[in-house]
Chain A
Amino acid sequence: MTTATAGDRTSVKRRPRQRRVPGWVTSVIAVGGLIALWQILGATVFSGGKAVPTPTAVIRQIIKDGWHFYGPNLKATVTVAVKGWFWGNLLAIGLAMLILIGQVFEGPLLQLGVVSYCLPIVAIGPILVLAFRGDTPRVVLAGLAVFYTTLIGMLIGLRSADVTSLDMVRAYGGGPGKQLTKVRLRASLPSLFAALRIAAPAAVLGAIIGEYLGADKGLGVAMINSEQALAVARTWGIALVAAGVAGVGYALTALAARLLTPWAPRNR
């Protein structure tokens, strides 16, 4: 249903044809403008308070801290995030297929999923630390953060398979299993990748919050330490790097989605 909308309001007014500047140019200009504004404000308005350094100061601090500082922390956080992402998604995909097979599981499993989504990560963190050791608590938190969205995404994807194709498989003598492998799995990919795109930053979030609750290395630990030491520029730097890691995860998933599902509508 792609009826158009308020967005086309201008086309009704019959403006003379202008050369359309591509969308990304305006956004690059806007972002550049905001960064420049930040630089100016940081140098003038916020310079006394010292809570908001200029972008250049932040970049300089990042370079000064360098790989020596960021390397081990990045490795710790990214390892945990990737592990959690992997296991959380695996469990979610498996459970989605289970629900497809046995409709009766749907009610309880989805309710459990809602609870897992609403379970405040900060609250069960301490409990996980009591029950597990090593980096398992953090991996579980990262996995928990991705579980529900991927479950729903995969379930919707599996169910969105084209009826005609399913009927064709059945007409040729295939059962639900063949339907699954030949039709449903591929049909589920766009929805699954939409969920996975959200999953990558969510796993980073779970990993970092897990670190707040008890770890010796990682971006979260580094951020708390530098916050308590009032090292402002460094805190900003770590936050930017963490955001960058999440962004890279998102971009990689989006790239994989575009490569593997070229037929899917390209929304952002």
Chain B
Amino acid sequence: MTLVDAGGQETALDALAGPGGAGGVTTGPAGGARWKPRRSLGLRLLKGLLSAIISIAVVLLAWWLFLEIFHVKHFVGKTPVDVWHYLVTSSQAAAHRNQIRHESATTLRDAGLGLIAGTVAAVACAVAFNLWRPAERALMPMAMVLRSVPLVAMTPLIVLIFGRDLKAITVIAGIVTFFPTLVNVTLALRWTPRESMDLCQAYGASPFATLWKVQVPNALPALMASLRIAAPLSLVGALLAEWLATGKGLGYKLLQSGALSDYSGLWSRVVLVTLYSVLLYKLIGVVERIVVSRFAPERG
């Protein structure tokens, strides 16, 4: 568990949740990294596909069990079959799909913008902190505090300040990404190995060159881990903001379909938005695994 030192156990937990979820929690009892033989790409893809199928099956089972155990009436509690019918086999399926596609595009765009804006801002601040230590020492504790505050819950306040348009959504989705990423990347920049820093100093590199050539690549795994952790939460922020502020996109339409008793529509949208969230998480996990294997192979 070499990542425990890299800036607090929260980071260790985040990173050890593993790029892509289940794969990472295989630390041996002594905590050392286990050497895994390299399998062929085809076999790995097959394994990934199989695990995806199993997870989908597990989720569907849990869904069905939920409806059964809590005796949810069929009028309000739709099964996977109902959702399939709504989206694929019913007579208005195409219209439904079209509508949902439009809403999904809005939501994903909003969440994506926020995620990117938050990350860029966080990296810029982390670099600034690294170049000017007094700023870091003064402001980091506050960033750590703000990281713990449930910022998505402040959505009404942010809507009040930034209005009811794209700006508010970007701010909410961005803020959720900003603080954790800032803290993790700052700490990762600080914890570059001594040998690399000494080497740069021996060659007379300027702080910028050191930063660019050594510290940033070393911090990339932490950056990707932060991004992966923040992505679902920024999607939640975007959905909430859509519901509270803009009235467009899946966030609003989802709750509206509940209010209009269009329960098949509600469940379909819930399934899709969960799917987007999981896909985003896994996708970033894949990129993270690539980054880790390229920039920090000893930690992979």
Task: From the candidates B10, B137, B140, B240, name the one contacting A209 in the complex (CB within 8 A).
Answer: B240
Given A8-B194, A156-B1, A106–B22 Cβ distance below 8 Å?
A: yes
Beta-carbon contact of A220 and B232 below 8 Å: no
For the residues of A in contact with B, the DSSP-based class is helix
Beta-carbon contact of B232 and A117 below 8 Å: yes
Given A6-B189, A110-B25, A111-B55, A204–B7 Cβ distance below 8 Å?
A: no
Beta-carbon contact of A115 and B236 below 8 Å: no
Beta-carbon contact of B5 and A1 below 8 Å: yes
Stretch binding the partner chain, chosen from A19-27, A68-76, A82-90:
A19-27
Beta-carbon contact of A126 and B254 below 8 Å: yes
- In the assembled complex, B267 has its CB within 8 A of some CB on chain A: yes
Beta-carbon contact of B22 and A120 below 8 Å: no
Task: From the candidates A5, A159, A198, A205, name the one contacting B153 in the complex (CB within 8 A).
Answer: A205
Beta-carbon contact of B58 and A112 below 8 Å: yes
Residues of B within 8 A of A108 (CB): 54-55, 58
**Most chain B C-beta atoms within 10 Å of own C-beta, residue among A30, A120, A131:** A120
Stretch binding the partner chain, chosen from B38-46, B91-99, B268-276:
B268-276
Beta-carbon contact of A111 and B9 below 8 Å: no
For the residues of B in contact with A, the DSSP-based class is helix
- In the assembled complex, B278 has its CB within 8 A of some CB on chain A: yes
> Chain B 121-163 against A: per-residue CB contact (8 Å), 1 yes, 0 no?
0000000001001100111111011001110111111011100
Beta-carbon contact of A118 and B277 below 8 Å: yes
Count, chain A residues at interface, CB 8 A: 88
Task: From the candidates A12, A126, A166, name the one contacting B255 in the complex (CB within 8 A).
Answer: A126
> Chain B 9-52 against A: per-residue CB contact (8 Å), 1 yes, 0 no?
11011001100011001010111000000000000000000010
Residues of B within 8 A of A5 (CB): 190-194, 197
Cβ < 8 Å to B, chain A residues 197-226: 197-198, 201-202, 204-205, 208-209, 212-213, 220, 223-224, 226
Beta-carbon contact of A27 and B240 below 8 Å: no
- In the assembled complex, A242 has its CB within 8 A of some CB on chain B: yes
Residues of B whose CB lies within 8 Å of any CB of A are 1-2, 4-5, 7-10, 12-13, 16-17, 21-22, 25, 27, 29-31, 51, 54-55, 58-59, 62, 66, 70, 72, 76-77, 130, 133-134, 137-142, 144-145, 148-150, 152-157, 159-161, 189-195, 197, 201, 210, 215, 232, 235-236, 239-240, 243-244, 250-251, 254-255, 258, 263, 266-267, 269-270, 273-274, 277-278, 280-281
Q: Besides the contacts A111-B51, A120-B277, A124-B274, what 19 more A-B pairs have beta carbons closer than 8 Å?
A: A6-B189, A30-B138, A107-B54, A112-B55, A114-B281, A118-B274, A118-B280, A119-B277, A120-B235, A120-B273, A123-B274, A160-B1, A160-B31, A198-B148, A201-B150, A205-B153, A209-B236, A209-B240, A246-B148
